[in-house]
Structure 1
């Protein structure tokens, strides 16, 4: 096996490199890894300005491509030392056909694994999700759980199904012989609900409140706890895992790790509102049972309208189950196996995210209130 110190050119190939997590990963790699010579960002929707972040020692290359196109993945990953596979299609609102989710999340992962085999790339870190475990639609809590905690896994939505399949493929690929005779080493990271700068769901939560005239409807029990993790710390765990996978492959190979930091345990509603409080949204609390009926009505209406209209509201039975079920994890295993500690403490995570949220237009709220 070739170690990091022995290899001349260390090239990181990052799928989904221009996305939310990919951008945070790029920043952490540039700041914390002094052995890398090149970072290749592979994405369907590219941002060429990211190449301007190249330094004297690290070249940043942005390449447009589709993860479902095997030939593209093979071509662009040639010569890579490590693959960090973050590319994924997230949808829990029925906005994307199941076949498309399957193609991106499962077939795309197969393509990445086969590209590693074809190009002799020994190290693959996969970005999985807590949703490969839960929460399930039955509302079973998972409190301070770890990778060995027994849980009633019950997938109904295409997204968690696809992530579960993809993670299984990655773990089963560990130990596969590569062209040239080397061995593939893989591991998988399971972040809880990621937040931070450029987080689209937080922006969606804001825009939904704007459309309702500054009114936020709440109904999740105040005792509900979720584990949220800052994107920069998720990126840092990927960097540490990739580093350790190269230096001590047999310790991490074939393993899965929950990813969390020291962000406070709060419901999704409470967590988001602490950043959006400056907008003075009016909050109204309604019974959870009523929310459940609304979620069922939304699901029924989506099914009725499906032939003529795409009705995909944020609230459905699955998203309500996720929002109202306590789901928190521990990252002790990552700490034991590759010394993971959050790179950013809670104060830094909060301040970085808040500065971004403060750029949201206040005028939208004022206009919406006037209209109502």
Structure 2
């Protein structure tokens, strides 16, 4: 199968995940405009329609591990015209699981590129993130500052080491940020690589999205709500007066991927081999305000902020001491903090605002969903998630 047969065959790696489901939903809704005849999903877990998209035979689902046996994946990539590579390990535990980050995010991405070349896939859009730019301000600080910066003006470390952990000092998120930047570099450096047929070349681009919210979120808001539910719904003020962070709705991130796909299909080469910031018009504020809004709109509980606050540098120092102890004990305890406290401290105190000029000009990107619709859909989904979680907890207690 190929685009010459009357339409494109597109593959979404990580199709069962947060962003993957949003991309599949939009591809199905816009398949006529995009001239798509088949959508494939590849994930390590069985596919489940968690976002409520249309059920259709147009969608074919596969199970496989991009960091595992590649021979079994050739059948998935065979006949594919374009790939959206969303599959990744999202993990900011401390100490970082370097081996698994290397296996999935780096080795897995290299495998996806190789499979594209061997199966004559013409286009590859990679799901990166702005954590690759989450670096210390002036190279020394415990927070970051990105003020309306474009991709070329936003600092990104130069990776010249073969070991993930040797680059950790370059980032404010240990392990994960470095793995995502390495994977992004693999994809962008493969732009223009000749395909196996010796007739076509691989065109690539990377979408850098800020912290993302929306339906099917299983990390950001859900984990925070779960944490707050055990602490009387009080959000601790651990960053002094705090910073401001740009957030983005998952539906708009998915639309950004599709805009990149459309841009790669034309011959202008405007975003070929380049990273692209994708943002929307979600209000820029500190994370606690956003969580309060989601809780208020969901009408299940009310999130408050603590009356006290810790200065950022004090909390960062305490987090450093705890992480130091956990790291020393890790060879014996094998215990990891589920989230790096230093990373959380740095994020909540940072000023993070990105300029999407490249996306607007070269991909003709404009947010598909306005802030009100984005918030309404998200709050409704988080409320549903909370109700289902409560039912599950009650059934466990009844046993």
TM-score (normalizing by structure 1)? 0.90
What is the distance in 2 between the residues matched to 1:124 and 1:249?
Answer: 16
Matched residue, 1:99:
99
**5+ residue gaps in structure 2?**
158-169, 394-399
Q: Deviations over 1:245-278 (max 9, x none)?
A: 1123622211210110000111222222221244
Q: 1:7: how far off?
A: 4.7
| Match of residue 141, structure 1, among 137, 140, 145 | 145
Structure 1 residue 280 corresponds to structure 2 residue 302? yes
In 1, Cα distance between the equivalents of 2:53 and 2:154?
46
**2:209 counterpart residue number:** 191
Q: State the number of aligned residues.
A: 360
SS of the equivalent of 2:153 reads coil
Quick check: 1:215 aligned with 2:214? no
Q: Which moved more, 1:350-359 or 1:277-286?
A: 277-286
Contact 2:130 2:210 in 1 (8 A): yes
For the 8 Å contact 1:258–1:330, the answer to whether it is kept is yes
Determine if the alignment matches structure 1 residue 253 to structure 2 residue 272: yes
* Structure 1: gaps of 5 or more residues: 368-372
Larger displacement relative to structure 2 (275-284 or 120-129): 275-284
In structure 2, C-alpha distance between the alignment counterparts of 1:128 and 1:238, rounded to whole Å? 11
Query: Is contact 1:21-1:235 (8 Å) kept?
Result: yes
CA contact (8 A) 1:89 1:104 kept: yes
Pairs within 5 Å for 1:1-372: 6-34=4-32, 35-49=35-49, 53-55=54-56, 59-69=58-68, 70-94=70-94, 97-136=97-136, 138-151=142-155, 153=157, 154-155=170-171, 157-181=174-198, 182-200=200-218, 201-222=220-241, 224-248=243-267, 250-277=269-296, 278=299, 279-284=301-306, 285-288=308-311, 289-306=313-330, 307-314=332-339, 316-359=341-384, 360-361=386-387
Structure 1 residue 94: Cα displacement: 2.5
2: CA distance, partners of 1:211 / 1:262: 32
Q: Is the 8 A contact 1:185 1:249 kept in 2?
A: no
RMSD: 2.4
Deviation at residue 293 of structure 1 after TM alignment = 3.4
DSSP-derived class of the 1:12 partner: strand
- Is contact 1:202-1:272 (8 Å) kept? yes
| Range with greater deviation from structure 2 (292-301 or 204-213) | 292-301
- How far off its partner does 1:165 sit? 0.8
Contact 1:92 1:319 in 2 (8 A): no
Provide TM-score, normalisation by structure 2: 0.84
